[in-house]
Structure 1
Amino acid sequence: MEKDAKKTFAKIAESLRQYRRADLSDFEDDLGAHPVDKLYVDPIPNDGILGMVLSSNTTFVLGRKGTGKSTIFSRAQSEIRDKGKNISIYIDVKALYDLLGESGVPVSRIEDRNISEDVLREHLLRKAFLSAILSDLIKELHIACERLPFWSKLFGNKKELIEKVRGRLALFHIKIKEGILSDAELPILRSITRKTEDHTKQLHRTTAKAKAEVDASLIKLTGNLSSEFSALEEALTDNKIYESYSDAVLRSFPFSDILNEIKQLLEELGLRRLIIFFDDFSEITWSDQRLFVDVILSPLNNSSDERVKLKIAGYPGRVYYGRIDPGKVDTICLDFAELYKSHDIQSAESAAIDYSTRLLSHRFKEFGLDIKDFFAQRPTFEESMRVLFESTFNVPRLMGYILKYCYQDSVTKGRRISPADIRLASQKYYGEVLAKYFDRRNRYALEPFERKLDRHNQQELLDAIVTEAREVRRGILAKEIGGSYFADVPNPPVSHFSVDPSLDKILSSLELNFLLTRYHQMRDKDGKDVSIYALYYGLCENDPLCQYS
């Protein structure tokens, strides 16, 4: 292998591991302008997913981290720009959320002793986040309009419309920074303050009682009293209070005027729709996502006379629809079991392996390489693609990690990649990345909103599953399980297992973080529905007694 080819291989692996869609611009020197357009490969033939995202419906695109949601959005925006019938903008929800969390909102004490400073600060932070979303929306709309080929020919009222909306949002920002509240907000904030004060008194009584009984118990209680929930979040778990609070926040926004001006702008520009892409929607907390949906997304979707359509990227188990009717929107799931669902698992696997092969072959070609020059031909190239699928389940970012480890271990040494190299790479990825999920200091791992087990108990659950897999393997070898059925299998695989579908939510946190993957849904020999799961390939490689199927 030539030195330049090895360096290009490393770039290919890096391009698959990108965490931000804008990062693909780093490869413009290699690929030219608009690298996403050149690299994009649809998960199903004939650009099926892209076509669904470009439909005239509001669309939720769901998939675990790294499944390609941002890339699909970027490619869809490019298509919208080329056709010129609609206008689109992109909002990175997580980036705005993190920015507000770091900068905060200064709070001036209001002359109302019935509203606590803590509740007021948290309230203004949430309003600042929602306002930042709207402001970014108007800013991106302004930029998108300026990119229109006919924009420079427009004068007068049409340009003034966007400036008018931006000015309204700027004034709204100032009100938030000064702590100015609307009449609709004051009653509910007083009610929340009373509730939080009552709750605090109850906690103090509980703590005092515990201290009197056992000093050791106090340590445990005070650890919980620091709480992962803030005062306002705790209050909003009461649905009646949340409904009143979200309605008050919604009424405090000049939404009707903003929507009317956006619709008027589209009309005068001769455009059908404004399409808004909201990325990393599931990275925000449950309470903030509820407000985001009920205060921002629902009015945009439900009150725009079909002139505004939303495209929202999220994680399975971390999506709140609120006042958006799930039956009237499209939902696309990019995870293997849903995307390639079929009557038989062989068809699903074939479709998935086809995507992995198409994606990598095309990417190597765009970078000027032939993928087969880097993979061993014995066993076959097709066998390597199968093992790559089994160790990544078609997740492009995981493919990037596997190729990175293969680059370090094989390509740099001039060796072609074999299935054994891919298995070793998956083992490294498990140890260096996935296993870190159980580190309590890991702030980046996310849980489904309806989490059933804490992280410690999830680790115990995974250990129990692995222990059971070892026992099954021992039973097979001892012919206690399966009799002579496995007689010709010296190393029986035990990586897959079935559970009743009612247990899916128990396993959802492990699945969201790739330690397990739902593989198939079927009926067992008794006609009962079962969910088939697979342990992560690298976990099985890490444990020789738990061989992958």
Structure 2
Amino acid sequence: MSLFLMSLSENIEGAFKSLMQSGRPDVIDEKRNNITPDIYVDLFKNNYVLRQVLDDNHTLLKGRRGTGKSTIFVKAEDHIKNNIHDALPIYINLQTCYEEIRTSNSDIKNSDLTNLTTYKNFLTEILESIKNKLPIHISNEEEVEVLFRSIRNGDYIDADFQRMAEQSKNALNENTYGDNKNFILRELNEIRIFSIHTILKRIQKILKRNNIYKVYLFLDDFSELNEESQRAVIDSLIAPIISSYNETFKVKIAAYPGRVSLGNADATKIVPVPLDFYDAYESSTANYPGVEKAAINYIRRTLEKRLEIFTQNQIFISDIFEITDHLSLDDYLKKLFDCTSAIPRSLGYILNYCYLASINNGMPINMLHIDNAAIKYYEENIHADFINDARFKQSFYDDKTLLDQVAQKNLMDEIVKYLYNLKRDTVESFTKGTLSTKLFQKTLQKKGSNYWLPTSYFYINKKSENLLKTLELYYIVSKHNEGSVRGAMEGKVSYYCLNYGLCLAHKIDFGRPAGRRKYDYWRHSDFNLTDYIPKVLSNIEIIICKNCGKEYNEVEYDIYQTSKNCFQCTKNNTVKKRNKFEDKLETKIAEWKQKSLPNAHVSVLRLLYNNRESELSAYQIGELVDKHHLTITNTMKTLSNKGYAKFRIKNKRYYSITSASISEFFSDSIDHYYE
């Protein structure tokens, strides 16, 4: 078997790496054919999720990074092109559109006037994308050219938008901008930049004349936009389509859970389709074991399909694992579920890390390979992305600006510390003979010189779970279940689990005991962090007068609210709740803003940082960030000129990150801000 594995090792590697792709995942075979539609695997039987994207409803795909949102869009596009001849699929990457506009305006002083202009240009870019996706014989029609010339000229700009832009311009000219700023920002959320109905009717008329009666708008990377930009898209384009009962345009949005703002759109007319395993399967199964079983089955089907396509049915899923009398294929699939939460991209990374130590040497993957890969994936990808993300993606559920990157890092550390100490203190009590908790007494196992006591799961009142949404976005925690607990706690609780690799890296035992105790175990009161998590977050804020520096406690702050005059300096409206780490963070934020690098450039730098022990070609970088290698070559030229990247020529250029880039972007990172 070892020789057989080695003979097809490159094919297996291709199967694993195809799962790692980000952005629009056009998977190419050795003949340069796009095989993404062939390798598509749906979360449910009978392609349920795909059918939701193809139906006549407006749809919101909600899933974290790597859950397959873009792959679903690619599969849907392919189906429409081959089977629905009176329909037109239009794929638009909103982040790319916005970045191109933002970069072109980067030399203009940032102001709300610039923002208004940016949003107008952004929406124009989206409409241009629609034009560019029209069949050539339609896009070349004179009526189309006239329509889009008018759009570019601003003939369809809404009167309210023109009024706001003019007010903003006048405010700047009269140096009274500060007085008008709040008004401008408030109004921005209400205006519609384009008189979109007229534009859509013109497009609709042209399409019907060419026997196209339905247009699917696949809007990808919606959550990469900030909340204000999302509302500009929704209020100017999406809400008018939905409210007009337009029968031609079907809106399909891909977004992260917890990072979606639907603005003025009627949310009841947008069908949410969750892709994260618990949210996806909880309504179709009777209990949590059913959810887990469905998720593991999805992992199995995903791997089977990739191996089938990439090895032409020569390698089966059981061939790539070290199956023994004590370890079955199901054991390996359960382990992969623990490591990845059934996220396809995470699955690809874990298996690709396993590949070098196993299949590349002619050996099947064993459990130790997976554990080592999980640690490596956490440290080099999950944790690195969370700590060093200059464009931090924060959940919109965070109701305070305090729940920023520093607070989230602090929260993660405190949860890890709590769960680690829970095991340590329990073992210490056990060895002293003072442990009274029978559930823990029955669970503790001696393994070598250490004790095994899993403390990887915890729960929080469902009303408070929004506090964990940002950590969930970054895969630090994942939701596994909802239920009730014994005692005085009212309502449901939500059960979460720490990232598997994080647990191994911090010596936290992962899992739960087998049998009947499994359910009782994760409901134990020691895993209740409902009061602990808000306490952690409250400890990172201070209430202070920004004028004189007087600090307030909560009681004093409540009294202050009646007059809004500082007790010490008497200045009005100067006392604010402030992140105690904010002063240390402001310098770093200013550096990031000053660099004004597009998200695509920051993504490349993060990739080079995470792979700083090696060198990558433009083609390799392009595969991992889903950009054409020529685009990457241009990006690397810019980064090299700025001193952020360097290259070495062998048969071609191989790039790596510079020490200057590490110093500016990644050293002295968030880890050190609250030491």
TM-score, structure 1 as length reference? 0.81
CA–CA distance in 2 between the matches of 1:130 and 1:486? 62
SS of the residue corresponding to residue 305 of structure 1 reads: coil
Q: Post-superposition shift, 1:255?
A: 2.3
Q: Post-superposition shift, 1:140?
A: 1.4
CA–CA distance in 2 between the matches of 1:359 and 1:271? 34
Is the contact between residue 12 and residue 364 of structure 1 (CA under 8 Å) also seen in structure 2? yes
Is the contact between residue 138 and residue 165 of structure 1 (CA under 8 Å) also seen in structure 2? no
Match of residue 164, structure 1, among 109, 124, 146: 146
Mark the CA change 1:531 to 1:330 in structure 2 (over 3 Å): closer, same or farther: same
Is the contact between residue 345 and residue 520 of structure 1 (CA under 8 Å) also seen in structure 2? yes
Q: Post-superposition shift, 1:185?
A: 3.2
Per-residue CA deviations over 1:387-423 (Å, capped at 9, x if unaligned) read 0011111111101100110012222222211122112
Q: Say which is worse superposed, 89-98 or 304-313, in terms of deviation.
A: 304-313
Aligned runs of 1:140-539 on 2, under 5 Å? 140-143=133-136, 159-172=141-154, 182-183=162-163, 185-187=165-167, 189-190=169-170, 197-198=177-178, 235=181, 238=182, 241-242=184-185, 244-246=187-189, 250=193, 253-303=194-244, 305-341=246-282, 342-368=285-311, 369-378=315-324, 379-439=327-387, 441-451=388-398, 452=400, 453-477=403-427, 478-479=429-430, 480=435, 482-483=437-438, 486-487=441-442, 489-490=444-445, 491-526=452-487, 528-539=491-502
CA–CA distance in 1 between the matches of 2:248 and 2:340? 39
Amino acid at match of 1:57: N
CA–CA distance in 2 between the matches of 1:117 and 1:51? 43
Aligned length: 483
Aligned runs of 1:49-198 on 2, under 5 Å? 49-81=49-81, 82-104=83-105, 118-143=111-136, 159-172=141-154, 182-183=162-163, 185-187=165-167, 189-190=169-170, 197-198=177-178
Q: Post-superposition shift, 1:330?
A: 0.5
Q: Post-superposition shift, 1:71?
A: 0.3
Between 1 and 2, higher relative CO (CA 8 Å, sep ≥ 6) is seen in 1
SS of the residue corresponding to residue 446 of structure 1 reads: coil
Mark the CA change 1:492 to 1:119 in structure 2 (over 3 Å): closer, same or farther: closer
Q: Say which is worse superposed, 504-513 or 464-473, in terms of deviation.
A: 464-473
1:547 aligns to 2:510 (yes or no): yes
Per-residue CA deviations over 1:285-307 (Å, capped at 9, x if unaligned) read 11111111111221233236322
Is the contact between residue 192 and residue 241 of structure 1 (CA under 8 Å) also seen in structure 2? no
Per-residue CA deviations over 1:482-520 (Å, capped at 9, x if unaligned) read 326543541121100111112212111111100000111
Per-residue CA deviations over 1:171-208 (Å, capped at 9, x if unaligned) read 34999xxxxx9456313554688897437xxxxxxxxx
Is the contact between residue 402 and residue 425 of structure 1 (CA under 8 Å) also seen in structure 2? yes
CA–CA distance in 2 between the matches of 1:371 and 1:293? 44
Is the contact between residue 406 and residue 417 of structure 1 (CA under 8 Å) also seen in structure 2? yes
CA–CA distance in 2 between the matches of 1:144 and 1:434? 46
CA–CA distance in 2 between the matches of 1:247 and 1:360? 47
Amino acid at match of 1:171: N
Per-residue CA deviations over 1:409-461 (Å, capped at 9, x if unaligned) read 2222222111221121111111111112453x422441112335222222222
CA–CA distance in 2 between the matches of 1:340 and 1:90? 27
Question: What residue ranges of structure 2 are gaps of 5+ in the alignment?
Answer: 446-451, 513-675
SS of the residue corresponding to residue 28 of structure 1 reads: coil
Q: Post-superposition shift, 1:105?
A: 7.3
Tell me which residue corresponds to 2:24.
21
Is the contact between residue 14 and residue 400 of structure 1 (CA under 8 Å) also seen in structure 2? yes
Q: Post-superposition shift, 1:273?
A: 1.4
CA–CA distance in 2 between the matches of 1:347 and 1:284? 35
Question: What residue ranges of structure 1 are gaps of 5+ in the alignment?
Answer: 108-115, 147-157, 176-180, 200-231
SS of the residue corresponding to residue 41 of structure 1 reads: coil
SS of the residue corresponding to residue 323 of structure 2 reads: coil
Mark the CA change 1:33 to 1:192 in structure 2 (over 3 Å): closer, same or farther: same
Amino acid at match of 2:9: K
Amino acid at match of 1:415: M
Amino acid at match of 2:317: I
SS of the residue corresponding to residue 46 of structure 2 reads: coil
Q: Post-superposition shift, 1:247?
A: 5.1
Per-residue CA deviations over 1:354-410 (Å, capped at 9, x if unaligned) read 000001111101112322221111211111111001111111110110011001222
Amino acid at match of 1:121: T
Mark the CA change 1:118 to 1:510 in structure 2 (over 3 Å): closer, same or farther: closer
CA–CA distance in 1 between the matches of 2:164 and 2:437? 68
Tell me which residue corresponds to 1:213.
none
Mark the CA change 1:243 to 1:189 in structure 2 (over 3 Å): closer, same or farther: farther
Is the contact between residue 482 and residue 492 of structure 2 (CA under 8 Å) also seen in structure 1? yes
Amino acid at match of 1:68: G
CA–CA distance in 2 between the matches of 1:57 and 1:481? 56
CA–CA distance in 2 between the matches of 1:372 and 1:537? 23
CA–CA distance in 2 between the matches of 1:22 and 1:534? 29
CA–CA distance in 1 between the matches of 2:374 and 2:380? 10
SS of the residue corresponding to residue 433 of structure 1 reads: helix
SS of the residue corresponding to residue 287 of structure 1 reads: helix
Amino acid at match of 2:242: N
Q: Say which is worse superposed, 444-453 or 429-438, in terms of deviation.
A: 444-453
CA–CA distance in 2 between the matches of 1:123 and 1:44? 43
Amino acid at match of 1:348: V
Is the contact between residue 67 and residue 395 of structure 1 (CA under 8 Å) also seen in structure 2? yes
Amino acid at match of 1:29: E
Amino acid at match of 1:492: L
Structure with greater helix percent: 1
Is the contact between residue 242 and residue 269 of structure 2 (CA under 8 Å) also seen in structure 1? no
Mark the CA change 1:18 to 1:193 in structure 2 (over 3 Å): closer, same or farther: farther
Q: Post-superposition shift, 1:257?
A: 2.8
Amino acid at match of 2:249: V
Is the contact between residue 142 and residue 162 of structure 1 (CA under 8 Å) also seen in structure 2? no
Mark the CA change 1:372 to 1:194 in structure 2 (over 3 Å): closer, same or farther: farther
Mark the CA change 1:188 to 1:423 in structure 2 (over 3 Å): closer, same or farther: same
Alignment RMSD (CA, Å): 2.8
Is the contact between residue 68 and residue 344 of structure 2 (CA under 8 Å) also seen in structure 1? yes
Is the contact between residue 216 and residue 252 of structure 2 (CA under 8 Å) also seen in structure 1? yes
